[in-house]
A and B are shown apart, each in its own frame.
Chain A
Amino acid sequence: MPTFWRLQRDEDGADQIKAIAAYLWQESFDGQVPQQQRGDAQHGSELFHTRGCMACHSIDENGEHVGGDFAANLTKVGQKANFDYIVRWIYNPRNRWAPYCPREHRDLTPQDYANHNLPFVFDTEQHSRCPNDGAELQVQNMTVMPNFRLPITDARDIATYLFSLSQPESYPDTSYLTDASLHDRGKALIKQYGCAGCHEIRGFEDEQRIGKELTTEGATPMERLDFAMLTNDAERGVDPLDQNNHEEWYTHQGFFTHKLSDPAIYDRGKEKAPADRLRMPKPFLTDEWRTALTTFLLGSVGAEGATVPQTMFYNPSDRRRDIQEGWWVVKKYNCMGCHSIQVGQNSVLMGLPLYQTPDWRDQLPPRLSSEGARVDPNWLLRFLRDPSLAGPQSASAQSGNAQPSTNNAAAAVSTSAPPVAGANTGAAQQNSQQNNQAAQQADRSHGELPPQPGANNNGVRTYLRARMPTFTFSPNELQKLVRFFMAVSSQEDPYIPQQLDPLTDQERLIARQLFTSGTPCLKCHMTGNAQHDATAIAPNFMIAGQRLKPDWTFRWLLDPAQISPGTAMPTGLFRQEGDRWVTNIPNVPQAVQDYQGDHAKLLVRYMMLMTQDEQQRLLSASPAPATGGAAPSPAHGAQQQGQTAHGQKPVSRNIAPQNRGRPKTSARVKNYSSRSPVVAYAVAHRAG
């Protein structure tokens, strides 16, 4: 936010800043922010340090900023923000207070929905249209902060922790905020200074930017750059900003540099009414940044203004373009806060104090440098849309229907939260809310927020403390991201999934032995069985078939550290014998010895064609766990139910030669892209 140094007192003595504040205050959200109880600050601190918040946000620890600098330092957020608001924000930062109807130019109210006998429910999926006129609603806040799918108790704990970091400030009298006489003056000032160019402000939804378009600014003819009263000085080499500069600055460069140094400079020597003065605020620029911006403007000449041939522009049309475009999305959402995307690039999390021990290093989010080679693009698209992998029924939980996944969410709330009074009642309230839409309406004002889609679930790696949040990417961004990962890994385009031959009975028997002997896969990989998964540290095979590419999986089995240095997956499982890879265990069973094919390739097929029955069989065949083992934590149980139910789908998908799963995906994407392009545009361009 630059300095609007011209905001001061009007001629009649009214404070302009107060007028703007009063307008914003009076035009904010109608009604009450649901009140929230304080939570457990210590648990909130754990969550803040482990869920991934610090990939973007920093806090001060021992006098140092710890964490990422992509988003705000939160040490003093308690001095500024409202606790109830922050809880709601952490719970789901994307969720708008009320849906905005672009056709009616206003936020809809519960009354609008009640008039049509509809519940006051809005989301990007099935409830994205205006009940009055069917217009595509804007239901998302303009922010890049994703939804971590936290239970409300966790959101309260995190907010409580953040608010414990600073002492409340006392502020001078703020009674002017409710002074209705300031409203219109504030509105005029907001319009004059173009606040809505960057901010979303009620009453200014359709406001354009007030500044000049700069796309081809470098090609503007000299005579159209308005040096005003300084034209002579610029030509004669008299510099109002630097007495020692005697060089002519009547150039594009001179104009830009002086404008950036003092945005009001070309008002000098003029008598103007306040409303007519130059409005550009003063940005904080170092000399280096100013030079960089000037250079950028000088180079912004468009195709016509270019002094070099068109062919010398970098306009790749092949996969390099996918990389270039995807890179913007990666940067916009700070993917590199958590992930290593390029070889040699470390994520923010990797550098945090917490992750310096070997145990915590295992808790780092996966490296994505070969993600395009690893995963099926269709799966990746689905995952990026909904990283909880909880499926569409979870997203529609907002409609108020009781769903299995909702119970799952409620159970998770009560267990993952610290054992404080109120956690269980919170879950119970949430449950009852599912069954009673009227109650849901009423509850909103009493601390209850809409249910969380995909609540408290980490789709692939449920064992990680850090959570892949839901970004609600626009269809355009989703496509760019998927194409980016595929292009970075030099994947063929278009993508044609590799078909796997079904296993013969004989092969299945051998594969089963490979799977369970030597280094038994299920010792580390999740199965969906809660007790087993309490110690699991690797993904479930039930999603391997739809998620992984067989070629990549084969290479992974041979030398995982080559692909992901530091991985928990060991090498040395196979050794080369002639031109095939055979298992590297000491006493190879006879049946396996007799198998003439490649052991690693057989294992890949077995894993990718894994069925629920087969996995169940493997689990029951393995020796019973020791007595006195940890009681399965209900949180895991609840998560795994969802996992299992979800996992059953891909089986038929992979075995059926027509690949029934694919069309379903594209259908869903199509539905998604029917969202208003305005919304997608707004999210894409304003949030950054």
Chain B
Amino acid sequence: MLIRRARFWLAISIILSLLALGIACKKSEDTGETGNTGGPTANKWKPKGNEGTIKGTVALNGQAPANSKPDLSADPFCASHNPNLTTEDVVASNGHLANVLVYVKSGTTADGQNIDSLGFDTPSDAVTLDQNGCHYRPHVLGVMVNQKIDIKNSDQTTHNIHPTPHTNQEWNQSQPAGAPDIVKSFPRPEIVIPVKCNQHPWMKAHIAVMKHPFFAVSGDDGTYTIKGVPPGTYTVVAWHEKLGEQTLGTVKVDANGTATADFSFSPTGGATASGQRSLEVMPALDVPMLMEQH
């Protein structure tokens, strides 16, 4: 009898606490971009001033596969404005690989907190995604959950921005020349969301929506820098859209220190995500709009 009564009160208290949680969640949604990304139970992370840096270089071991030259005839603006345009599948020079997203996947801070359990403030400044010269600039970008993405069209032609996420909402919006910026954000973490322009099939971007701010994208010199990382030991992942993913198991960041995490990709991809038949596997299958100029 006693046990049954205890169970009843336990149930009631669970329901009440769930209700309270619901209200709390609702509140944080209302506050919009300054919301807490780690959920209501997460410890809000605050910089302590002893943060370190993870930096390194992403190398490409070997000759980069040639990017293809798409048929621009359908859009006179792109053809005249950027006549030598190529796809940006693999951008590398002197053995340095650009457009690699490097991020902290998991790990524990020096004071014993799992990075997954921490909550982070969403930055209030927006990240810009520009359509310029019939390419997305940047080609790969990271944002935090709910962080605003300011989408510009600097071209004198119409684009449409079409992210194809799995866990976030898909959308596809037209942006003619001179149209006002489109401001969007993604409410759920997702690595990564491919973005395309249906009118210019070579135009691709990749947006990583992160729970935390510990990510960077390698530049043309292959280098990247992740600043403000709390001391601790982390698993760091480098992701490339065509060449797959590489993981470094233990990257130790000391207080105010700089840890180096270098990555090296093979031009044939190697450890690409399994189960994905990418276009390289069947080269003759490129969809018509990807056909090279004759």
Residues of A within 8 A of B (CB): 42-43, 45-46, 49-50, 353-354, 356-363, 463, 465, 517-520, 523-524, 531-532, 534-535, 537, 560-561, 565-573, 584-587, 623-626, 628-631
Contacts and interface: CB of A to CB of B under 8 A. Distances in A.
A474 B120 CA distance: 63
Interface in B246-292: 275-279, 282, 284-285, 287-291
B172 A569 contact: yes
Given A570-B173, A623-B76, 17 more contacts: A42-B284, A50-B285, A357-B278, A463-B288, A465-B285, A537-B201, A561-B171, A566-B172, A568-B172, A570-B172, A571-B174, A572-B182, A584-B179, A626-B72, A626-B83, A629-B72, A630-B291
Interface string B185-206: 0000000001010110100000
Given A358-B164, A519-B176, A535-B71, A626 B79 contact: yes
A630 B73 contact: yes
B160 A519 contact: yes
Given A523-B74, A586-B177, A586-B179, A363 B287 contact: yes
B162 A568 contact: yes
Nearest to B76: A623
Contacts of B80: 626
A624 B160 CA distance: 22
Contacts of A534: 71, 73, 288-289, 291
Closest 8 CB pairs of A and B: A629-B73, A626-B79, A625-B73, A570-B174, A570-B160, A568-B198, A586-B178, A535-B74
Contacts of A517: 176
A584 B196 CA distance: 21
Contacts, number: 134
B274 to A, nearest CB: 9
B158 interface: yes
A524 B170 contact: no
B194 A358 contact: yes
B293 interface: yes
Contacts of A567: 172
Contacts of B289: 534-535, 537
Which of B179, B198, B201 counts the most A-chain CB atoms under 10 A from its CB?
B198
Contacts of A630: 71, 73, 291, 293-294
9 contacts: A46-B284, A358-B194, A358-B196, A463-B288, A561-B170, A570-B173, A586-B176, A625-B76, A626-B75
Nearest to B163: A358
B71 A629 contact: yes
Contact of B75 (A463, A523, A571): A523
Nearest to A45: B282
B196 A359 contact: yes
Contacts of A631: 294
Interface of B: 71-76, 79-80, 83, 158, 160, 162, 164, 170-180, 182, 194, 196, 198-199, 201, 275-279, 282, 284-285, 287-291, 293-294
Given A537-B289, A568-B198, A356 B276 contact: yes
Given A360-B287, A534-B288, A628-B293, A519 B74 contact: no
A353 B275 contact: yes
Nearest to A624: B76
Contact of B279 (A357, A463, A561): A357
Nearest to B175: A572
A160 to B, nearest CB: 15
Contact of A571 (B172, B178, B285, B290): B172
Contacts of B177: 586
Which of A465, A531, A572 counts the most B-chain CB atoms under 10 A from its CB?
A572
A670 B187 CA distance: 56
B164 A361 contact: yes
Nearest to B195: A358
A629 B72 CA distance: 7
A356 B293 contact: no
Contact of A629 (B174, B287, B290, B293): B293
Nearest to B164: A358
A571 B171 contact: yes
A362 B83 CA distance: 26
Contacts of A359: 196, 201, 279, 287, 290
A356 B278 CA distance: 9
Contacts of B276: 353, 356-357
A517 B158 CA distance: 9
A358 B198 CA distance: 10
Contact of A535 (B162, B171, B176, B288): B288
Contacts of B75: 523, 626
Nearest to B290: A359
B103 to A, nearest CB: 21
A354 B76 contact: no
Nearest to B178: A586
Contact of B170 (A356, A519, A537, A565): A565
Contacts of B198: 362, 524, 537, 568-570
A227 to B, nearest CB: 53
Contacts of A586: 176-180
A43 B176 CA distance: 40
Contacts of A46: 282, 284-285
Nearest to B182: A572
A217 B289 CA distance: 59
B73 A535 contact: yes
Which of A42, A359, A534 counts the most B-chain CB atoms under 10 A from its CB?
A359
A49 B282 contact: yes
A435 B236 CA distance: 69
A16 to B, nearest CB: 47
Contacts of A584: 174, 179
A585 B175 CA distance: 8
A523 B176 CA distance: 12
Nearest to A354: B277
Contacts of B74: 523, 532, 535, 625
Given A519-B158, A519-B176, A531 B73 contact: yes
B71 A520 contact: no
A312 to B, nearest CB: 40
B178 to A, nearest CB: 4
B179 A585 contact: yes
Contacts of A537: 198, 201, 289
B199 A524 contact: yes
B252 to A, nearest CB: 36
Nearest to A561: B172
B179 to A, nearest CB: 5
A519 B73 contact: no
A650 B188 CA distance: 48
Contacts of A42: 284
A463 B74 CA distance: 15
Nearest to A43: B284
A629 B164 CA distance: 29
A631 B288 CA distance: 13
A623 B156 CA distance: 14
Contacts of B175: 572
Which of A43, A49, A534 counts the most B-chain CB atoms under 10 A from its CB?
A534
Contacts of A353: 275-277
A558 B275 CA distance: 37
A546 to B, nearest CB: 25
Nearest to B287: A359
A577 B293 CA distance: 44
A233 B80 CA distance: 91
A570 B160 CA distance: 6
A520 to B, nearest CB: 7
A560 B198 CA distance: 14
A35 B56 CA distance: 63
Contacts of A566: 164, 170, 172
Contacts of A560: 172
B287 A585 contact: no
A93 to B, nearest CB: 25
Nearest to B180: A586
Contacts of A628: 73, 293
Contacts of B199: 519, 523-524
